[in-house]
Homo-oligomer: A and B are copies of this chain.
Amino acid sequence: MRTERRLHRLEEVLRHRQPDLTVVMENIHDPHNVSAILRTCDAAGVMRIQLLYTTTEFPDIGKKSSASAKKWIECRRFSGVEDCYRTLHGEGYSIFATHLEESAKSPFEIDLTRRIAIVVGNEHEGVSSEAATLADGILQIPMFGMIQSLNVSVATAVILFEAVRQRICAGHYDKAKLSGDELARTLNEWAMKE
Residues of A within 8 A of B (CB): 9-10, 13, 16-17, 32, 36, 39-45, 66, 68-69, 71-72, 108, 141-147, 149-151, 153-154, 157-158, 161-162, 164-165, 168, 173
A40 CA to B168 CA, complexed, in Å:
24
> This chain: how many copies in the complex?
2
Shortest A27–chain B CB gap in Å is 18
Give the shortest distance, in Å, between A47 (CB) and chain B (any CB).
10
Question: Nearest chain B CB to A23's CB is how many angstroms away?
Answer: 14
Given A16-B144, A141-B161, 9 other A-B residues pairs in contact with their CB atoms under 8 A: A9-B146, A39-B151, A39-B154, A43-B150, A66-B151, A144-B173, A154-B154, A154-B157, A157-B158
A–B pairs, 11, beta carbons within 8 Å: A9-B146, A13-B146, A16-B145, A39-B145, A43-B145, A43-B147, A44-B144, A66-B147, A69-B146, A151-B153, A161-B161
